[in-house]
């Protein structure tokens, strides 16, 4: 029994908690991607770098606040700086829309043209971010680091294995739940949210009903930029901030949106967790867990790791390929334009 509990704790500590946190971060990112896709009808490749830009602003304001000695301990100071990051990212997204995407919208360009344009936007965002903050890793987490510490957990339970729960992990899941609840409430209960769904469902009829496309597009960018900043800051608190890592996050984020069914907000959230759990469970070394579970003498000699962690992006790719082959519309029957 104790062996089983030890195995469970080990598994929770190294798989369940990290995957849940990562899943929540992906879900927030995928939600933004899916909103843009469903309203503006293109895959926004600049989303990862919009995340990076918003996070960079948040980090800079965080540093400023830290220098002034302002904080909200035990919570990280970044939460205080978050609104500035969101406003900055929103402004950037709205300006980009006015300068780049509006042009193609007026021409009624094909979605693929938008995608290519968004790749260009992605490079610009990426350059801006690197210009201001550099290419290195930035850590900006402060406040109480742990909710549960390993030694405390051992002392409490008397088990050999310890379990740690970091503040950033709890924060990620709580904030993600609140943000997702807000987005769903907004889309399903408010007049503006409903008009976004109407515009996404049937553009011509929405126009006939007097729904202003400009307003719908602006609100969508505001939501997407805020979600992107939120996802980026939570990811940075949990791990660290690095412009290139954020750029690479684009792949698991798109995988999440597509697995869940692109254009479906529920799908984005579910997809985020599916991708995160697949990545973590496939790259985790099960030696420790199996040593506890199997009878003595049968403990594995190798690491029992299916894939090295370097291959975690390959997992997203494989999931993407499988979904596109087997069920292109994703779990929740998204729409494909």
Partner 1 sequence: MSFLSARAMTGGYGATDILHGCAIAVERGEIAVIVGPNGAGKSTAMKAIFGMLRLREGEVRLDGEPITALSPQERVRRGMGFVPQVNNVFASMSVAENLEMGAFIREDDYSETMEQVFSLFPILYEKRAQAAGELSGGQRQQVAVGRALMTRPKLLMLDEPTAGVSPIVMDELFDKIIEIARTGISILMVEQNARQALNIADKGYVLVQGRNRYTDTGEALLADPEVRRTFLGG
41 binds partner 1 (CB under 8 A): no
Q: Which of 211, 237, 253, 319 binds partner 1 (CB under 8 A)?
A: 211
130-138, 175-183, 202-210, 290-298 -> range binding partner 1 (CB under 8 A): 202-210
Please report where in the chains the tokens 């900006």 appear, as a residue: 140
Q: Report the alpha-carbon angle 17-243-273, nearest 5.
A: 30
20-28, 54-62, 206-214, 266-274 -> range binding partner 1 (CB under 8 A): 206-214
- Which H or E element spans position 148? strand 146-148
191 binds partner 1 (CB under 8 A): yes
Closest to partner 1 by CB, 2 vs 201, is: 201
In this structure, the number of other CB atoms found within 10 A of the CB of residue 214 comes to 10
Closest to partner 1 by CB, 257 vs 319, is: 257
94-102, 199-207, 287-295, 323-331 -> range binding partner 1 (CB under 8 A): 199-207
Burial of 189 (0-12, 13-18, 19+ CB in 10 A): exposed
Tell me if the bond preceding 74 is cis, omega within 30° of 0: yes
- Which H or E element spans position 165? strand 165-166
3-11, 156-164, 201-209, 237-245 -> range binding partner 1 (CB under 8 A): 201-209
Sequence-separated (6 or more) residues with CB below 8 Å from residue 102: none
In the bound complex, what is the minimum distance in angstroms from residue 39's beta carbon to partner 1?
A: 13
Nearest to residue 219, comparing CAs of 183, 182, 192, 199? 192
Number of residues that bind partner 1 (CB under 8 A): 15
The answer to whether residues 246 and 55 touch, using CB atoms and an 8 Å cutoff, is: yes
Q: Which of 127, 201, 305, 309 binds partner 1 (CB under 8 A)?
A: 201
183 binds partner 1 (CB under 8 A): no
108 binds partner 1 (CB under 8 A): no
Closest to partner 1 by CB, 65 vs 211, is: 211
Nearest to residue 206, comparing CAs of 30, 33, 41? 41
The answer to whether residues 33 and 112 touch, using CB atoms and an 8 Å cutoff, is: no
Q: Which of 41, 130, 154, 194 binds partner 1 (CB under 8 A)?
A: 194
204 binds partner 1 (CB under 8 A): yes
Closest to partner 1 by CB, 156 vs 337, is: 337
207 binds partner 1 (CB under 8 A): yes
| CA pair distance 323, 84, nearest whole angstrom | 38
209 binds partner 1 (CB under 8 A): yes
The dihedrals phi and psi of 316, each to the nearest 5 degrees, come to -55, -45
* Residues within the interface to partner 1 (CB under 8 A): 191, 194-195, 197-198, 201-202, 204-211
């Amino acid at each position: 029994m104790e062996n089983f509990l030890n195995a469970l704790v080990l598994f929770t500590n190294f798989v369940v908690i990290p995957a849940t946190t990562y899943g929540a971060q992906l879900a927030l990112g995928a939600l933004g991607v899916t909103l843009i896709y469903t309203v503006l009808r293109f895959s926004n490749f600049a989303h990862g770098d919009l995340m990076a830009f918003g996070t960079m602003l948040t980090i800079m304001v965080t540093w400023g606040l830290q220098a002034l000695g302002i904080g909200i301990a035990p919570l990280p100071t970044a939460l205080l700086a978050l609104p500035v990051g969101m406003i900055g990212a929103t402004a950037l997204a709205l300006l980009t829309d006015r300068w780049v995407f509006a042009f193609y919208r007026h021409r009624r360009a094909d979605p693929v043209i938008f995608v290519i344009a968004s790749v260009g936007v992605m490079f610009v965002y990426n350059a801006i971010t690197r210009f201001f903050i550099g290419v290195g890793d930035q850590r900006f987490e402060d406040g109480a680091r742990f909710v549960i510490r390993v030694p405390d957990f051992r002392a409490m339970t008397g088990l050999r294995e310890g379990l740690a729960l970091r503040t950033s992990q709890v924060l990620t899941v709580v904030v993600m739940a609140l943000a997702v609840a807000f987005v769903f409430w907004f889309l399903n209960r408010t007049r503006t949210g409903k008009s976004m769904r109407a515009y996404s469902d049937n553009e011509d009829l929405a126009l006939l009903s007097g729904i202003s496309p400009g307003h719908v597009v602006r609100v969508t960018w505001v939501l997407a930029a805020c979600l992107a900043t939120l996802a980026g800051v939570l990811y940075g608190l949990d791990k660290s901030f690095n412009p290139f890592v954020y750029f690479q996050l684009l792949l698991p984020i798109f995988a999440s949106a597509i697995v869940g069914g692109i254009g479906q907000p529920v799908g984005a959230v579910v997809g985020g967790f599916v991708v995160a759990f697949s990545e973590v469970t496939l790259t985790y070394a099960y030696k420790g867990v199996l040593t506890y579970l199997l009878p003595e003498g049968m403990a594995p000699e190798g690491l029992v790791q299916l894939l090295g962690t370097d291959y975690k992006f390959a997992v997203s790719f494989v999931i993407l390929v499988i979904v596109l082959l087997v069920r292109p519309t994703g779990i929740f029957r998204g729409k494909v334009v």
